[in-house]
Structure formats: C-alpha cells, structure tokens
C-alpha cells in the first residue's frame, strides 16, 4: 500500500501543507497564516464599500474650437 499524503496549499502564503495531524492549522501552514487570513476576513467585513468615492468630475472643458 502506498502512503498517500494529501496536501493542500496554505490560503495565505501558498505553502504546501500536509493534510494530516502534523498540520493542526490546516489548510493553513501555521497559526500565523490562519490569523492573517482571519484578519483579512474581518477587515473585509468591516470595510464594505457602500459608496465608492469617485474624485473624478465630469470635466468636459475641451477647448477644441471646431
């Protein structure tokens, strides 16, 4: 029988993580990456773009005299 070790890529840093008891933070490679990912998630939840601030004015001051 062949030992099939399933591995995944850490969503944070893309490191190959062995899917086993050796990787308690799977699919993350480490607790740090797990927290980073969670932090991103929290940040995204708190910064839902309601109204995109466009600083562009529709300036049509083209001085092209035709």
Show contacts with Zn ion in window 19-38 (CB under 5 A): 29, 33
- Binding segment for Zn ion (CB under 5 A), chosen from 2-10, 19-27, 42-50, 51-59, is 2-10
Among 2, 3, 5, 12, binds Zn ion (CB under 5 A): 12
Whole-number Cα distances in Å, 10 to 2, 4, 14, 51, 55: 24, 19, 4, 33, 38
Q: Are 31 and 25 in contact (CB under 8 A)?
A: yes
Q: How far apart are CA 10 and CA 30, in angstroms?
A: 9
Task: Tell which one of 7, 13, 25, 37 touches Zn ion (CB under 5 A).
Answer: 13
Footprint on this chain of Zn ion (rule: CB under 5 A): 10, 12-13, 15, 29, 33
């Amino acid at each position: 029988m062949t030992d099939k070790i399933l591995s995944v890529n850490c969503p944070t840093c893309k490191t190959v993580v062995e899917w086993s008891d050796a990787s308690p933070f799977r699919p993350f490679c480490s607790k740090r990456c797990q927290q980073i990912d969670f932090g991103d998630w929290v940040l995204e939840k708190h910064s839902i773009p309601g109204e995109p601030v466009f600083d562009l004015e529709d300036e049509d001051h083209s001085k092209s005299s035709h």
